[in-house]
């Protein structure tokens, strides 16, 4: 079955950086819009970044604009999320998922599927 697996999380200091990876198996990421979501304990899952399947148009929620960058490496069938200038409030489990629709504007969790197991990002001194 199709599968997405996240990796690259860890413990970082405030102001630090990580590169998260979303690796696809048994399907081609080229044909899917990919979103990154995060969920902190007691909080609802939040869409943070998205890259469209057509022209690579990207979206980032306001709170991460200028700090997070989403990109796609088709040769590796992988989508990345570079997360910089990290703050404690960025602490969460980060998930990737796919959407057939090409639009990134809404990032409703209900419209995404094939969720990965997530990777933990902890920002603390």
**pLDDT one-digit tens code per residue, 79-91:** 999 999 999 999 9
Residue 66 CB neighbour total at 10 angstroms:
9
Residue pair 80/73 in contact by the 8 Å Cβ criterion: yes
Pairing of strands 18-25, 3-7: antiparallel
pLDDT at 123: 98
pLDDT at 106: 78
Encode pLDDT of 6-25 as tens digits. Answer: 999 999 999 999 999 999 99
pLDDT at 14: 98
pLDDT at 95: 98
Average pLDDT of span 86-110: 94
pLDDT at 118: 98
Q: Choose among 108, 20, 119, 31: nearest CA to 70.
A: 20
């Amino acid at each position: 079955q199709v599968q997405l697996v996240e990796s690259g999380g860890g413990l970082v200091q405030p102001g630090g950086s990580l590169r998260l990876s979303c690796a696809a198996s048994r399907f081609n990421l080229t044909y899917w819009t990919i979103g990154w979501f995060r969920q902190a304990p007691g909080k609802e899952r939040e869409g943070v970044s998205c890259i469209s399947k057509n022209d690579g148009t990207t979206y980032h929620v306001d709170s991460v604009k200028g700090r997070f960058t989403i990109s796609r490496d088709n040769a590796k069938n992988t989508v990345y999320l570079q997360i910089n200038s990290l703050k404690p409030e960025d602490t969460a489990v980060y998930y990737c998922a796919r959407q057939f629709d090409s639009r990134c504007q809404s990032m409703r969790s209900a419209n995404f599927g094939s969720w990965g197991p997530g990777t933990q990002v902890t920002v603390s001194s």
